[in-house]
Structure 1
Amino acid sequence: MNILGLTSALSFFSDAIQFKIGTIFIGRSSGEEIGKKLGSLFIGQSVVACTAYVVVTGLVAAMGTLCSQAYGAKDYKLVGTYFSRALLIASLTCFPLWTIWICVDSFVFHFSGDFQLAQGASDYTIIMCFSYPAYIYAKLANSFLQSQNKVAATLAILISGNILNIILQYIFIFGYELEIKGVAISYVISMYVVAVLVFTYIRLSNINKIYLNQCWTFELLTEWLHFLKYGVPGVLQKLNDLILSRVIPIIFVGFVLKDTNQLALFGILNTIWFVFLSTSLGYGSGVTVRIGNLLGNNELERAKKASIVCLLYGLAIVVIFGILIFSFAHYLSLLFTTVEEFRLQIEFGIRLLGVIILSDIVYILRGIYNACCLQNVETLTRFLISIFISTPLGCVLTYFIIWRAAGYYLIMIIVFVALLILHSQHIIASDNNLPQDIFLFTNLIPENGRGEYNNIFNILNITWREITIDDKNQSIYTKEVFKVVRLIRPDCHKSCDHQSEFNIQKREIFGVDDREAIRPKHAKKFPRSGVVRLSVGCTGMLIDPLHVLTAAHCFYLHNRYTSNPSGVQVGVLKANEVDWSRIKRIYLPMNWISDNGNSLDYDYSIVELKTPSKRIPTPLGLSVYSDCLSKHTHKEGSSVEFSGFPDDKPKNKLWKSNCSILDTDYHLLWQECDATHGNSGSGMIAKMERSTEGDKDDWVTIGVFSGIRYNYKYERRLNVGIRMNIYNFLTICIWSDSLKECIERYKWLFPLPPLKFETH
């Protein structure tokens, strides 16, 4: 784990050197003009850092968290989807940032009145416009690979780019005397080389085939809010750091006091600060990856221990850095200039930085924050508080200790100690570095990246369409609803889906037709008393007096409604006749309506009646796909039964089919129960074992009969039902307004803290 953190730290260190190495070459080549030239470079680099660096590193923080947990959960397609989504979002920022960079000269000249300072900063930012696309890809690809513990190759690529950058800068600055332009041109060339090498590595490895081939889909345009929810706090964190270390010095030293020599001194100290700060950030990023992998794989105890170990190693790293910086301050100052008076000020500032660098442990804490998805409103509040505290104090120190610019960095100690205390208190309150709302049943959730469950955000996303019929049945009102459920999980094994094809037009009789007719008097008895007929030609099952479970394709198929919802009626069998009644509302899963290729696994819906039925319902039951919940798994060989109104049998008569389950996955129950048209929507029932000895087994509805699909295991078509897995079970419980009853029935599966809901 610490190898990953250290390698990641070296990677960030190399990246920082590539960005800041120009300060050394400009300082050595400037002589007495060091103030103007280094001041211009410092402003140009600050503009780029406060825009491009902030945006990309914020996305890297979010993507690293999401990809590492998806990789730990072995959801490989989702890893590629997150990477591609981050690329798309970052690419949209190109033109706004280029606009800012092109206008830098006007802005700097307006506030400083120094044309040479403005021109130098503008030369740097305009050339750097060309580097931004390569920078986006290189940084995000590096995080993408790092989330899969593949850091050796990216580290080698970054070192190669660094060497090329140093050589080019030496040639352009000392050979061609391009000065600041040479710094920018060298960075652009080296960054494109790094991007090409990383792209080539991904294309030639099996990563591209596993993660990226199928990720450029419509999913990239969805769930941006969830993605940005964890990216924005990261952006604000970096912006906070840059306001402290760059913006305030530029405003008060460069624009208010107009002292270019002290501005250059700030630039040199910021270079040293940034390089070692990036190393701490790199280690924190490695922490994010490792803890994220452990959380994604449900190894909660190991994640807790890893977070503690990371803090200890991180503290050791920053202590060593602080000692080295303090001890070698004299030699570090010689790298930047030979002007003795200026060098002495640099040396003093470097020694002070050696003490301040100890506060970088806060970045290791941020890594744990990111890994555990703890970024929230409290994080934004801390950002605002730190800005309000640091800005006035920074102005005072800048004004009164201007002859020693390093004195300004004293404020860093105060701010970072405050942040360290705030972060520590929040982590301690969050149960030893882990969020209170961890995961529920992610082992029971498919690893298919379909978006119905997102274990990265520890939530269950439930979306549906409500079709409400007015009292006069003359019009309908449709709305789409989105709810979020925070969940917790036990330690069980994960499951994988079988591939399947679906034919909604056919049902099948297997061998001898063994369906049995049910006499009218028996049709009124439990558990078949809840079977109802729908006017659209389907069957349904009462799960409570007001709600009927049936198939979604009975109402909506191939992007259109199959019948007018206002004309739908529900019939109860009485003495070979059907007593029809009106409905109030229809619920359809958005996963079915979206018709995205995976929607066939969500062929279920709920019909809400206008008046309660007097028939005894067959309650909804949970049917999970797991080895750790044997009482509710309904595996191969389990008995299942459904009753309905098939089209090939006499009308207004109930027919029963029963058989054993042949194959299962997270979504489906494959069987050879005889069925034809009219059976669609039939409630599949089975006996649920009671948790307490002495209690009787009872019948529950564990699925909805859907149709026929090709089964790859048996290499033939089988009848199939949609099982009441965790997602479907909770969705229907919410629709029928019986969530509390559902949880009470399975309370042993829902440990504390209780489920939390957010409605969007």
Structure 2
Amino acid sequence: MENMIFWLTFSTLGWTLICGSEMEQDFMWHLRKVPRVVSERTFHLTNPMFEADAQKVVKRACGIECQKALPAPSLSELEDSLSYETVFENGTRTLTRVRVQGLDLEPAQNGTPPRAYGRRKRHVYGTDSRFSILDKRFLTNFPFSTAVKLSTGCSGVLVSPSHVLTAAHCVHDGKDYVKGAKKLRVGLLKMRRKGGRRKLRGSERSRRDAEGGRPSGGTAERPLGGAAGPRRRTESGRGARGAGGTPSFQWTRVKNTYIPKGWAREGSGDAALDYDYALLELKRAHKKKYMELGVSPALRTMPGGRIHFSGFDHDRADQLVYRFCSVSEESSELLYQYCDAESGSTGSGVYLRLKEPGPKRWKRKIIAVYSGHQWVDVHGGQKDYNVAVRITPLKYAQICLWIRGSDADCAYG
């Protein structure tokens, strides 16, 4: 009965979102030419220690007033921040320097950055407005099926057949990579079939032994069928054979991890919130529908200023949690909002639903990465928000470069 009430409420809200305010104005995606981020030279770095704790440490948080007052970064500063580290599955690491082309820099301004304050444990404001996605018809279908869980405890979103977008602090604390990033895995939700465990084929058994994990169902040809991960675990970490229709995670290893140098400041720990995003390349491709990237539009062009994201909040074990809310404030790099969220949801892909210019079909795109709770100075006072890192034209070009391996198909976003 409780589930029935929930889905009635959710369906009603969904109908309101689709047939109400979003239909009143002709909100559309508009492709724009983005600057080019070109790889120039790659250097080998010493192997990371993987000794950091999995928590966000932000020494410098440039907020709303700060971004309006600070001088615009120079081209060389931008190129330095957009240069990136790649950590490979064997634990080795490289640094790739980039060159930015086709960028118009804004006039410099003067100012002083605001102070940053400690985080509170809770990120829920007033009445909890989150929705647990419990019905398997929704749980394993788009757009909810694009949400994934990281073995470090964060969330992420599928942005290609082989890539997951998440928050940088989920794998790196600004000084070093977190302990769980050395053998990082990504969990995709699936529905466990009836019948429990079955006898393994020889090829599946060999693959399982080679990767150090157990397959969670399916044949040897399935993209993530033998993905390594916690042995027959669900998202709560409890061993389970699972009854028919039970949601569980299908784990696969991460092949490469990409982090902007704006976050991974070698030795200094001077991680900038603006660069709290990372891309994970999976060892084995999946066949799920993924969410495309989009350049974050101005707040005035968002239907009701409303954003959406789904993740695996720690206080709702075994459940995918969806939420939506209106953006309260914006800066050039960040979205400030009060979407109810708890730890575990960080790294979720924040998306909009707008119309495509030609066919006028509704389409969802990822326009930000949920970073977590932050205190900033606003209008002379201290305010706390749940903050998301916007996908700006430069960040779009960089992430596109990571996904495609070159900037050839990254001219428009």
Task: Name the TM-score, length of structure 1 as normaliser.
Answer: 0.35
Which residue of the other structure, out of 182, 185, 188, is the alignment partner of 1:566?
182
For residues 603 and 678 of structure 1, the distance between their equivalents in structure 2, rounded to whole angstroms, comes to 15
What is residue 522 of structure 1 aligned with on the other side?
138
Find the partner of 2:398 among 724, 731, 743: 731
CA RMSD of aligned residues (A): 3.2
On the 8 A contact 1:524/1:615 being kept in 2, the answer is no
Q: Could you say if the C-alpha distance between residues 685 and 563 of structure 1 is closer, same or farther in structure 2, counting changes exceeding 3 Å? A: same
Give the whole-Å Cα distance in 2 for the aligned partners of 1:670 and 1:497: 20
Shift of 1:691: 3.3
Which residue of 1 is the match for residue 128 of structure 2?
A: 513
Amino acid at match of 1:587: Y
Amino acid at match of 1:592: W
Distance 1:613 1:447 in 2: 44
Task: Call closer, same or farther: CA 1:564–1:686 in 2, change over 3 Å.
Answer: same
> Equivalent residue for 1:168?
none
Query: 1:392 is matched with which residue?
Result: none
**Inter-CA distance 642–502: structure 2 relative to 1 (3 Å threshold):** farther
1:710 is matched with which residue? 375
Aligned twin of 1:540: 156
Is the aligned partner of 1:670 residue 2:325?
Answer: no
1:539–1:691: structure 2 CA closer, same or farther, 3 Å change rule?
A: same
Report the equivalent of 1:467: 87
Amino acid across the alignment from 1:727: L
Report if the CA contact (8 A) 1:625-1:665 is conserved.
no
Identity %: 28
- SS of aligned partner of 2:287: coil
> How far apart, CA to CA, are the structure 1 residues paired with 2:109 and 2:349?
27
| Map 1:187-202 → 2, pairs under 5 A | none
| Corresponding residue SS for 1:673 | coil
Q: Residue 558 and residue 492 in structure 1: after superposition, are their counterparts in 2 closer, same or farther (change >3 A)? A: closer
Partner of 2:257: 586
Residue correspondence of structure 1 range 269-308 to structure 2 within 5 A: none
Maintained 8 Å contact 1:460/1:485: no
1:552 aligns with 2:172: no
Q: Which amino acid aligns with 2:92?
A: Y
Partner residue of 2:311 out of 625, 644, 654: 644
Q: Which runs of 5+ in 1 are unaligned?
A: 1-444, 470-474, 747-760
C-alpha distance 506-725 of structure 1, shift in aligned 2 (>3 A): farther
| Partner Cα separation in structure 2 for residue 448 and residue 580 of structure 1 | 43
SS at match of 1:695: coil
CA shift, 1:657, in A, is 1.2
Instruction: Decide whether aligned partners of structure 1 residues 662 and 458 sit closer, same or farther in structure 2, where only a CA change above 3 A counts.
Output: closer
- Match in the other structure for 1:658: 324
Indicate the residue corresponding to 2:91 in structure 1: 476
Residue 599 of structure 1: aligned partner: 272
Quote the offset at 1:697 in angstroms: 2.8
Select 1:617's aligned residue among 290, 293, 309.
290
| Contact persistence 1:495–1:666 (CA under 8 A) | no
What one-letter code is carried by the residue in structure 2 that aligns with 1:707? G
| SS of residue matched to 1:541 | strand
Q: Which amino acid aligns with 1:556?
A: H
Give the whole-Å Cα distance in 1 for the aligned partners of 2:294 and 2:152.
26
Q: Secondary structure at the match of 1:622?
A: coil
Contact 1:622 1:702 in 2 (8 A): yes
CA contact (8 A) 2:351 2:366 kept: yes
Deviation string for 1:602-628 (max 9, x for gaps)? 1110000011111111111101559xx
Report the count of equivalent residues: 286
Q: Go from structure 1 to structure 2 and tell me whether the alpha carbon gap of 1:560 and 1:488 turns closer, same or farther (over 3 Å shift).
A: closer
Instruction: Show structure 2 runs of 5+ residues with no match.
Output: 1-66, 192-246
Output the CA distance in 2 between the equivalents of 1:527 and 1:618.
8
Once the 2 structures are TM-superposed, how far is the Cα of residue 596 of structure 1 from its aligned partner? 6.3
Q: Are the equivalent residues in 2 in contact too, given 1:503–1:708 (CA < 8 A)?
A: no
Q: Offset of 1:503 from its aligned partner?
A: 4.4
After superposition, what is the alpha-carbon deviation per residue over 1:149-186, rounded to whole angstroms, capped at 9, x for unaligned?
xxxxxxxxxxxxxxxxxxxxxxxxxxxxxxxxxxxxxx
SS state at 1:556 partner? coil
Code of the residue aligned with 1:710 in structure 2: it is W
The one-letter code sitting in structure 1 at the alignment partner of 2:399 is: I
For CA contacts below 8 A with separation 6 or more, give which structure has more relative contact order: 2
**Paired residues of 1:546 and 1:613 also in contact (CA < 8 A):** yes
User: Residues 82 and 262 of structure 2 are in contact (CA less than 8 Å); yes or no, is this contact kept in structure 1?
Assistant: no
SS in 2 for 1:567: coil
Amino acid of the residue matched to residue 614 of structure 1?
K
Instruction: Indicate yes or no: 2:316 matched with 1:701.
Output: no
Equivalent residue for 2:25? none
**Cα displacement (A) at 1:639:** 0.4
1:494 deviates by: 9.9
Judge conservation of contact 2:71–2:110 (CA < 8 Å) in 1: no
Structure-2 change in CA distance of 1:505 and 1:571 (3 Å): farther
Q: Tell me the secondary structure at the aligned position of residue 731 of structure 1.
A: helix
Distance (Å, rounded) in 1 between the aligned partners of 2:410 and 2:88: 24
Bigger Rg, which one = 1
Q: Do the aligned partners of residues 687 and 740 (structure 1) sit closer, same or farther apart at CA in structure 2, a change above 3 Å counting?
A: farther
Conserved 8 A contact 1:664-1:670 = yes
Question: In the aligned structure 1, how far is the partner of 2:110 from the partner of 2:408?
Answer: 27
Whether the 8 Å contact between 1:602 and 1:722 is mirrored in structure 2 is: yes
Paired position in structure 1 for 2:244: none
SS of aligned partner of 1:721: strand
Kept after mapping to 1: 8 A contact 2:150/2:187: yes
Q: Aligned runs of 1:72-91 on 2, under 5 Å?
A: none
* Greater share of helix: 1
Q: CA deviation at 1:687?
A: 1.7
Q: Rate the CA distance shift 1:670–1:716 in 2: closer, same or farther, 3 A.
A: same
Q: Is the 8 A contact 2:70 2:110 kept in 1?
A: no
Task: Please say if residues 502 and 709 of structure 1, whose CA atoms lie closer than 8 Å, have aligned partners that are also in contact.
Answer: yes
What SS does structure 1 have at the residue aligned with 2:399? Answer: helix
Instruction: Rate the CA distance shift 1:572–1:696 in 2: closer, same or farther, 3 A.
Output: same
Which amino acid letter does the alignment assign opposite residue 569 of structure 1?
R
Please state whether the residue corresponding to 1:736 is helix, strand or coil. helix
Structure 1 stretches (4+) deviating beyond 3 angstroms? 445-451, 456-461, 488-500, 502-507, 595-598, 738-742
Q: For 1:702-758, what per-residue CA distance to the aligned partner results, in whole angstroms no more than 9, with x for missing partners? A: 1111111124337321111111112221111111127444424x3xxxxxxxxxxxx
Which is strand-richer, 1 or 2? Answer: 2
* Structure 1 residue corresponding to 2:352, chosen from 652, 667, 686: 686
Q: Which residue of 1 aligns with 2:411?
A: 743
Q: Deviations over 1:162-220 (max 9, x none)?
A: xxxxxxxxxxxxxxxxxxxxxxxxxxxxxxxxxxxxxxxxxxxxxxxxxxxxxxxxxxx
**Kept after mapping to 2: 8 A contact 1:532/1:539:** yes
Matches of 2:345 and 2:110 in 1, distance apart?
A: 29
Amino acid at match of 1:589: P
Judged with a 3 Å threshold, the aligned counterparts in structure 2 of structure 1 residues 701 and 482 are, in CA distance, closer, same or farther, namely: same
Structure 2 distance, partners of 1:625, 1:586, is: 30
